[in-house]
Amino acid sequence: MQSYIIALEHEQILCREGDTSSELYLVDKGSLLVCVVNGTQVKALAKIHAGEFIGELSFFDNRPRSTYIIALEKCTLIHLPQHELLTKFPQWFIQIGRALTKKIRLHDTLIHESQIRHNNSDDLKLSMEEQRYYYDLIFPKSH
């Protein structure tokens, strides 16, 4: 299996909501912000650090990306191509991954619709200035 090193600069966007990529990434160095946009509001969902994976849901179910992922600093990722990994996994592993992905997406939808907040979400709460900053980064104004 071949892997690829991806270097991201500070503020570089790795993926956007709706992207059809199903690739999996392992964060080697750095940290990234996972967020969603609702109108002009940017909501931080998580911070991803070295040793964590990005893209595992789309990897298993081939659905479009559900979030924006932005580098908070210079990052190094290991790109693990879907077409190479799936040939290495036993079929039962892929079936478990798909079943878990389905449950996670369902629970994400239920949490989003009920607007339940995680108790430790204060460190992820973005100020109005931060929301404006990330919104402008995601949707740059064309001149």
> Where does the chain show beta strands of DSSP type E?
4-8, 13-15, 24-29, 31-38, 41-49, 53-54, 68-71, 75-80
Mean pLDDT by 10 residues, the chain (143 residues): 84 96 95 94 95 94 94 97 88 94 90 64 83 96 66
Q: Which two tokens stand for residue 33?
A: 């912000």
- For residues 95-104, b (16+ Cβ closer than 10 Å) or e, as one string? eebeeebeee
- Owner of token pair 């299996």: 1
Query: Which residue reads 């997406």 in tokens?
Result: 105
pTM of the entire predicted model: 0.85
Superfamily of domain 4-138: Jelly Rolls (2.60.120.10)
